[in-house]
A and B are shown apart, each in its own frame.
Chain A
Amino acid sequence: STLAQSDGAAGEVTLEDPLITNHRVGRKGGRLVTALRAEPSTFNPVVALNIPSQTVIRRMTANLIRINRKTQETEAALAKTWDTSSDGRRFTIYLRRGVRFSDGHQFDADDVVFSFELYLNPEVASPIRDLLVIGDKPVRVKKIDRFTIEFELPEPLAAGERLFDGIAMLPKHILKDSYIRGEIGSAWSLDTAEKEIVGLGPFRMKEYLPGSRCVLERNPHYWKYDQEGNRLPYLDELVFVFVPDQSAHVIRFQAGDTDIIDRVSSENFLILKRQSRRSAYRLRDLGPGTIYSFLFFNLNVTSGKDRQSLRDKQSWFRDLSFRKAVSAAIDRQGVVKLAYRGLASPLASHVTPGVARWVNSELSVQPRSIAVARDLLRQAGFRWNRAQKLVDKNGAVVEFSIITSSSNSQRLQMATIIQADLKELGMTVHVVPIEHRALIERITREYDFEASIMAFGGGDTDPNAQQTMLLSSGYLHFWHLGQTQPSTVWEAEIDRLMKEQVRTIDPVRRKQLFDSVQELMAENLPLILLVSPHILVGARGEIDNFNPAVLEHPTLWNVEELFWSQQRSE
């Protein structure tokens, strides 16, 4: 394997082509404190999954190519430049020369090859691997010379270079041993010595205090410079304090214990806003992010006697008029007002307005109309009994349950609102909050539910990232999982469109294809879209270059550029 021909690396190279950034030049010094909702579970990019871990890891590591969170376009990172072959299957990446890891060791193609080997090895079972497996075949990586690598995709992939954003480059000299021992999964865990965690990001690990905080310090070997030739980052230290409770985040921000805050809930945002006149912080409502919440019905094919009542109800759920009526009855404005205090946007497409590049702007939000809903139901053969309850053709009373995750109060609120809305249609709805794992098990494995409210989002904005949900065979195709053949015409059509857009390199054509997909989704309502919450962030007024974006990580994506415009009085 690649490891066999290890350490053939030649001598030292000085940083010949640093990345020169283009932003306001800042001043060095200071410490930035921010809170994490949970403690990172690992510092190992190979196995890291949850947001807290990735938030920390991404400040300590770098990618070959990254997606600019603001423009949502790709830009050079460790790769100085890259070439894409005309069929979109082959990428040649030219590394910056003389880049060093935070321990001073030089970074070159061997590290890249090593990193991909880790990610791709099925034994390691890295969650990243799935990104690099396209149509059942993994990406091929080839070292051309010390600073050039060639990647070959098994199939053409539109916007394939976006893949590199999620893949951190790892130091071969540090991780080689544990990889050979087969213990890469538990390398760089929480009890690893701080010095051993080495990366290419703007910061490196200084101190980790279990349960309370982790402190990163400036990486002295970072490869970005500002226009005046100062090496980035500006900040001396970046501190993550672990604060499990949402409210506590706000409290600490208010108290000045933390300097930057993201993922503020709408209520808390309003509280902060009320006080911001008095205090020195800036709050930003970035508008809808990539998250879309939706109500969906169980359209899975189930067997077994105990599911008989579900199958009876599915005759309603499969009825498009029924779904349309439900959608028409939902007071999305009410949801925005009550569950998000106005800081959310009702949705027309499952692509949110936050993804400006891809959203189909032709689609419009369905206004609430009980009359329309009633008409739809009546035409579909539903009636109302004397007690004003909705009954179907067979005289069965329409009654179903909506399960939601008990740990998410917004979704619970939405369910409660929908419950009241549908009551006006004569439907009896039970809201059943259940604990998250139980919910997932019911939806993904047992298909034992009637309807549910969930939300998707995050990750890349590119349509490719939505395949798992949109393709009828996708494992996030929650309303009907495990299909070998598309079970409806429109699902077949979506499958076709999605497969086509993957292969289409032309961005305009791709957009057209994806617009059609959105239309089909909106017409057939497998997901009854609700709202997209706004991304709400805040930062202390003295933080300069603060340039939040809706993509992950909203406030720290450009942490190397942040600086204290005046030394904080302490």
Chain B
Amino acid sequence: MRWIARRLLHGLLLLLGVSVLTFAFTEIAPGDYFDEMRLDPRISAETVEALRSRYGLDRPLHERYLRWLGSVLRGEFGHSFAYHTSVGSLLWVRARNTLLLTGLATGLAWLIAVPLGAWAAASKRRWVRALFGGGTSLLLAIPDILLALLFLLLAVRTGWFPVGGMASLDYPSFDAWGKVKDLVHHFALPVTAMTLATLPVLVRHVHASMSEVLRSPFLLSARGFGIPPRRLLFRYALPVAANPLISLFGHSVGSLLSASLLIEVVLSWPGIGPLLLESILARDVHVVIGAVLMSTVLLIVGNLLADVLLYAADPRIRVES
């Protein structure tokens, strides 16, 4: 397990690098958080300067960085200018909401993609192939933003789905069944949109790697021993095809926080995306760095997870140890 330690160290260095560079980048972008106040007729320029110096914005970059690093060590991850609170607590709630959405959607997408891709790869029927190719092409071609907008339009036109929010106001007063119904109702639209956005890429990959495995001789051999088709597909072919899919899975874990930005914004999901965008525009620097680091952590975790899974799934790697 020295290997894990090495990977973690690696990740730590990456985080450090990302934080340094992010700091440098924020410096490049014009303006700072308190600039907005300059347009407020009630606030004098002196007050703005006072605030800036209070938050250390008048200090040189490296000093600000070290201060920030100190607050990371205290577990606060810096201070949000806009929200007057520590970034850690601010981000956590949104990150949870985003993870709920993307986690559900990614899970769902994988659940659909694996059997669908496998089935399409195994099918010899022309129309299945045509339908599959056409369908994934179409989904792949619809930009996320358009997809989200279409769903919004659907919700508005039909009134079947609530727009925005994760639960009704009366949620706490519902009984268990009512709660479930309410959640499903609220999650339906964003989760579907998100699922549809991630699905085609996954299906394509599953299809590609399954097609490759299906051509391999050991399947012919297994077929020669009378293993029935479904078992052949899922018990024999899938674990072998899993290898590239696991890397993909690692990648989709890595992008759990960032993949849903547009959908969150359009469908008003209280996730990290809108906050990040707002913070970038408002130059709420620590929030941005916090969010970036959070997704970097996820990136690292995703890669690590992929390797662990690969280890678990592929005896060729596992057994050698």
- A–B contact via C-beta, under 8 angstroms: yes
Which A residues fall within an 8 A CB radius of B?
A: 31, 33, 38, 41-42, 44, 47, 49-50, 122, 125, 127-131, 133, 166, 185-186, 189-191, 210-213, 215, 239, 241-245, 247-248, 251-252, 254-255, 257, 407, 435-438, 440-442, 444-445, 454, 456, 459, 465-466, 468-469, 475-476
The interface stretch among B65-73, B120-128, B164-172, B221-229 is B164-172
Shortest A114–chain B CB gap in Å is 20
Shortest A13–chain B CB gap in Å is 34
Contact A475 B44, beta carbon cutoff 8 Å: yes
- Judge whether B27 is part of the interface by a CB distance below 8 angstroms: no
Contact A437 B35, beta carbon cutoff 8 Å: yes
Cβ contact of A440, chosen from B36, B54, B164, cutoff 8 A: B36
9 sample A-B contacts, Cβ–Cβ < 8 Å, listed by A number: A38-B278, A133-B44, A189-B85, A211-B94, A211-B97, A252-B163, A440-B36, A442-B30, A465-B42
Cβ contact of A251, chosen from B50, B156, B274, B275, cutoff 8 A: B156
Contact B162 A257, beta carbon cutoff 8 Å: yes
Q: Would A438 and B31 be within 8 Å (CB), given that A122-B50, A127-B47 are in contact?
A: yes
Cβ contact of A255, chosen from B37, B42, B162, B274, cutoff 8 A: B162
Alpha-carbon distance A255/B168, docked complex (angstroms)? 13
Cβ contact of B41, chosen from A42, A211, A468, cutoff 8 A: A468
Nearest residue in B to A465 (C-beta to C-beta)?
Answer: B41
The interface stretch among B203-211, B253-261, B263-271 is B263-271
Interface flags for B211-250 (1: CB within 8 Å of A; 0: not) read 0000000000000000000000000000000000000000
- Judge whether B181 is part of the interface by a CB distance below 8 angstroms: no
Q: Would A239 and B43 be within 8 Å (CB), given that A251-B163, A436-B36 are in contact?
A: no
Cβ contact of A459, chosen from B41, B44, B94, B156, cutoff 8 A: B41
- Judge whether B32 is part of the interface by a CB distance below 8 angstroms: yes
Alpha-carbon distance A248/B164, docked complex (angstroms)? 8
Q: Would A469 and B41 be within 8 Å (CB), given that A210-B93, A211-B94, A212-B165 are in contact?
A: yes
Q: Would A125 and B54 be within 8 Å (CB), given that A245-B265, A436-B281 are in contact?
A: yes
Chain A residues in 8 Å Cβ range of B9? none
Q: Would A130 and B281 be within 8 Å (CB), given that A41-B83, A245-B265 are in contact?
A: no
Contact A127 B83, beta carbon cutoff 8 Å: no
- Judge whether B315 is part of the interface by a CB distance below 8 angstroms: no
Shortest A533–chain B CB gap in Å is 17
Interface residues of B in 144-172 (CB under 8 A from A): 152, 155-156, 159, 162-167, 169
Alpha-carbon distance A211/B164, docked complex (angstroms)? 11
Contact A243 B268, beta carbon cutoff 8 Å: yes
Q: Would A255 and B38 be within 8 Å (CB), given that A125-B47, A435-B281 are in contact?
A: no
Chain A residues in 8 Å Cβ range of B283? 437
Chain A residues in 8 Å Cβ range of B166? 212
Shortest B51–chain A CB gap in Å is 5
Contact A244 B85, beta carbon cutoff 8 Å: no
Nearest residue in B to A122 (C-beta to C-beta)?
Answer: B50
Contact B44 A210, beta carbon cutoff 8 Å: no
Shortest B49–chain A CB gap in Å is 9
Contact A245 B268, beta carbon cutoff 8 Å: yes
Chain A residues in 8 Å Cβ range of B282? 437
Cβ contact of A42, chosen from B31, B39, B54, B84, cutoff 8 A: B84
Interface size on B, residues (CB 8 A): 50
Chain B residues in 8 Å Cβ range of A211? 93-94, 97, 270-271, 275
Chain A residues in 8 Å Cβ range of B41? 456, 459, 465-466, 468-469, 476
Cβ contact of A437, chosen from B36, B40, B162, cutoff 8 A: B36
Alpha-carbon distance A44/B278, docked complex (angstroms)? 21
Shortest A472–chain B CB gap in Å is 15
Contact B268 A459, beta carbon cutoff 8 Å: no
Interface flags for B77-118 (1: CB within 8 Å of A; 0: not) read 000001111000110011001000000000000000000000
Shortest B312–chain A CB gap in Å is 35
Q: Would A127 and B265 be within 8 Å (CB), given that A44-B84, A190-B85 are in contact?
A: no
Alpha-carbon distance A441/B35, docked complex (angstroms)? 7
List 7 other contacts, CB 8 Å, given A133-B44, A189-B84. A49-B40, A49-B43, A125-B47, A127-B37, A252-B163, A257-B162, A437-B30
Contact A33 B268, beta carbon cutoff 8 Å: no
Nearest residue in B to A256 (C-beta to C-beta)?
Answer: B159
Contact A437 B32, beta carbon cutoff 8 Å: yes
Nearest residue in A to B264 (C-beta to C-beta)?
Answer: A244
Shortest A288–chain B CB gap in Å is 18
Alpha-carbon distance A437/B169, docked complex (angstroms)? 35
Shortest A314–chain B CB gap in Å is 22
Chain A residues in 8 Å Cβ range of B169? 31, 33, 213, 215, 239, 241
Contact B268 A254, beta carbon cutoff 8 Å: no
Contact A42 B83, beta carbon cutoff 8 Å: yes
- Judge whether B45 is part of the interface by a CB distance below 8 angstroms: yes
Contact A210 B90, beta carbon cutoff 8 Å: yes
Chain A residues in 8 Å Cβ range of B31? 436-438, 440-441
Q: Would A210 and B268 be within 8 Å (CB), given that A437-B30, A437-B35 are in contact?
A: no
Chain A residues in 8 Å Cβ range of B89? 191
Contact A49 B45, beta carbon cutoff 8 Å: no
Chain A residues in 8 Å Cβ range of B155? 251
Shortest A143–chain B CB gap in Å is 26
Alpha-carbon distance A185/B54, docked complex (angstroms)? 11
Contact A130 B83, beta carbon cutoff 8 Å: no
Contact A440 B38, beta carbon cutoff 8 Å: yes
Chain B residues in 8 Å Cβ range of A456? 39, 41
Shortest A69–chain B CB gap in Å is 17
Shortest A399–chain B CB gap in Å is 24
Contact B162 A41, beta carbon cutoff 8 Å: no
Nearest residue in A to B284 (C-beta to C-beta)?
Answer: A41
Q: Would A475 and B38 be within 8 Å (CB), given that A211-B97, A243-B268, A441-B30 are in contact?
A: yes
Alpha-carbon distance A436/B35, docked complex (angstroms)? 9
Chain B residues in 8 Å Cβ range of A440? 31, 35-36, 38-39
Chain A residues in 8 Å Cβ range of B36? 436-437, 440
Contact B43 A130, beta carbon cutoff 8 Å: yes
Contact A210 B30, beta carbon cutoff 8 Å: no
Chain A residues in 8 Å Cβ range of B270? 210-212, 242
Alpha-carbon distance A50/B159, docked complex (angstroms)? 32
Q: Would A241 and B44 be within 8 Å (CB), given that A211-B97, A437-B281 are in contact?
A: no
Chain B residues in 8 Å Cβ range of A242? 270
Chain B residues in 8 Å Cβ range of A245? 164, 265-266, 268
Q: Would A255 and B278 be within 8 Å (CB), given that A33-B169, A210-B90 are in contact?
A: no
Alpha-carbon distance A230/B182, docked complex (angstroms)? 36
| Closest 9 A/B residue pairs (Cβ) | A437-B31, A211-B270, A210-B93, A438-B30, A441-B31, A189-B85, A125-B50, A130-B44, A440-B35
Alpha-carbon distance A213/B47, docked complex (angstroms)? 31
Contact A244 B54, beta carbon cutoff 8 Å: no
Nearest residue in A to B269 (C-beta to C-beta)?
Answer: A211
Alpha-carbon distance A454/B41, docked complex (angstroms)? 14
Cβ contact of B84, chosen from A38, A185, A210, A468, cutoff 8 A: A185
Contact A131 B83, beta carbon cutoff 8 Å: no
